[in-house]
Amino acid sequence: MRVLLTGASGYVGGRLLPVLVREGFGVRCLARRPERLLGRVPAEVEVSRGDVLEVPSLAGAMAGVERAVYLVHSMGGSGDFTEADRSGAQNFGAAARAAGVRSIVYLGGLGEQASDLSPHLRSRQEVGDVLRASGVPVVELRASVILGSGSLSFEMLRALVERLPVMVTPRWVRVPTQPIAIEDVLAYLLAALRLETCVSRVFEIGGCDVVSYGDLMREYARQRGLRRFMIPVPVLTPRLSSLWLGLVTPLYARVGRKLIDSIRHPTIVLDRAALAEFAVRPIGMREALQRALADEDTEVARTRWADSLPASGRGWGGARLGNRRVDSRGVTVAASPAAVFAALERTGGEKGWRVQERESGRVLLAAEPGRAGRAWLALEARPVQGERETEIRLTSIFDPLGLGGILHWHATRRVRRRALSQMLRGLADRAVVEAGIRP
C-alpha cells in the first residue's frame, strides 16, 4: 500500500514515518521544505515538494497513492490559522478525490461540539468536516493531550512543573482530560490506515485514565522527584493564563496560548467505538509519563544535538532545546578520523563519567545524576576534506532538575565553558600526537 504522509517534519508525523516504513508501507512525504527531511528519511521513502495551500503542487504528490495521512495545522503561524487550515483541507480533499485516493486518515481534537468551543478545537473539527465534504472516505481520530518526549503538551507540562515550585492554579487546572501516549496514537493511526471502509468514520481515542491537568502536573513532579505546591484560585482566566504561560515557557508561547484557550473544555472519550473497532488497548497516564521520561535518555543517545546549533568559531554556541541546555563547539585537526576516534574512545570512565554509548565516530558520556540534574557529553569525530582532516566536536547537554537546576546551569556557565574548552584542546593535542603529526 502506498501512503502519502503530510507533516513528516512535525512531532506525530516524524514518529509515524519509521513505523510506516517498518510495517512495509510505501511512503511518500509531502513537504514544503524537503531539505528539512534530509538525513531523516530512509532511502526508500519519496519526498515530494508541495504545500496544501498551493493546489498545483498536490497533483504529483497524490499520483499512485491509495491512502493519505493528514497531519497539517497552522497554529504555529502568525496569521489566521483557522482560514489557512480550512483552505488547506479543501485543497487536499479535492486533490485526493481527483487522484482516486481510497481514504484519508486525519488526527483531530477531542471536545464536544458546542457553540462556545475555542477557535483551536472548532478549527480541528472543521478540518474533519471539510475533508469529508470532498467525497473521499475520512477516518478521523480525535485525541486530547498527547504524552511523549518532545510533544508540545509534554514540554509545556514539563516547563511549568520544572520552573515553578509554587503554582497559582486557575479553575481550568481541574478540568477533566483523557491523555494518550504517543505510542498509542501511532498504533491507532496505523490501524486506521488498514481499515477498509467506504464511508467516513469518527473515532474518539484516549488513554485509560480520566484525570485533570493538575493530576498530570502532580504525577510529573512525583516521577521527577520534585516537591510542588498548587494554590487554587478562581480568577485566572484562560486569556490571563496564556500570558502567564508566555512568561514561563516563551519557546511555546505562540502555539501554547492557542491551546490554553481550549483546555477550559473537558476533553474525554464519550464514544468508545475505537475500542470495539481496533485492537489497540491504550496505557494510562502514569505509564505514559514514565515512558516519555525514559525515552528522553534514548533520544539523547541518538540525537546529533550539534546539528541543531549554528557553528561558532568564537566561544560556545549555546541553545535551549525543549528543557535541555546545549553547548557545542568544534575544532579541526590535521589527522585522520580513525586516529581522532582512537583518542576519543579513551575518554571517560573517570571523575564521575561513564560511557553510555559508543559507535563509529562518536562517544556519549553520562555523568552520575546529581541534585542539579543530569548531564551528558557527546564527543564526535567528523571527516573534513575526505580523510585528511577531522573536526572534533564536543557537545555538552544538561537536563536541569527544577528551578535549582536552571539556576545552577546559569551560575556555572563560565566555569563550565572554560573546562570544556580545555577538554577540547586536550583531545585535539592527543589526537595529532597519536597520528604522528605536529599540532
- Average per-residue pLDDT for the chain: 83
pTM greater than 0.75 (yes/no): yes
Whether residues 420 and 391 share a domain: the answer is yes
Dump pLDDT digits (tens) for 193-238: 999 988 999 999 999 999 998 999 999 999 988 899 988 887 666 6
Dump pLDDT digits (tens) for 262-309: 677 788 999 999 999 999 999 999 999 999 888 776 766 655 555 545
Whether residues 210 and 283 share a domain: the answer is yes
Task: Identify the band that residue 312 occupies on the pLDDT scale cut at 50, 70 and 90.
Answer: very low
Tell me the DSSP string of 131-193: HHHTTS-EEEEEE-PEESTT-HHHHHHHHHHHH-SEEEE-GGGGSEE--EEHHHHHHHHHHHH
Stronger pLDDT, 128 or 340, i.e. the higher one = 128
In a domain, 439, yes or no: no
Whether residues 269 and 294 share a domain: the answer is yes
Would you state the pLDDT for residue 342? 79
Residue 128 lies in domain: 2-298
Pairwise CA distance, residues 7 & 380, whole Å = 31
Whether residues 153 and 29 share a domain: the answer is yes
Among 416, 405, 150, 424, CA closest to 300 = 150
Length, in residues, of the chain: 439
Residue type (1 letter), 102: R
Would you state the pLDDT for residue 279? 95
Determine what percent of the chain is predicted with pLDDT higher than 70. Answer: 81
Whether residues 343 and 418 share a domain: the answer is yes
Task: Supply the CATH number for residue 64's domain.
Answer: 3.40.50.720
Task: Identify the band that residue 34 occupies on the pLDDT scale cut at 50, 70 and 90.
Answer: confident
Whether residues 286 and 387 share a domain: the answer is no
State the total domains in the chain: 2
Pairwise CA distance, residues 22 & 436, whole Å = 45
In a domain, 40, yes or no: yes
Domain boundary among 283, 298, 313: 298
Question: For the range 19-25, what are the long-range contacts, defined as Cβ-Cβ under 8 Å and sequence gap of 24 or more?
Answer: 19/186, 19/190, 20/190, 20/193, 21/45, 23/190, 25/1, 25/193
Whether residues 309 and 285 share a domain: the answer is no
Answer whether residue 241 shows pLDDT above 70. Answer: no
264, 118 contact by CB (below 8 A): yes
Whether residues 276 and 309 share a domain: the answer is no
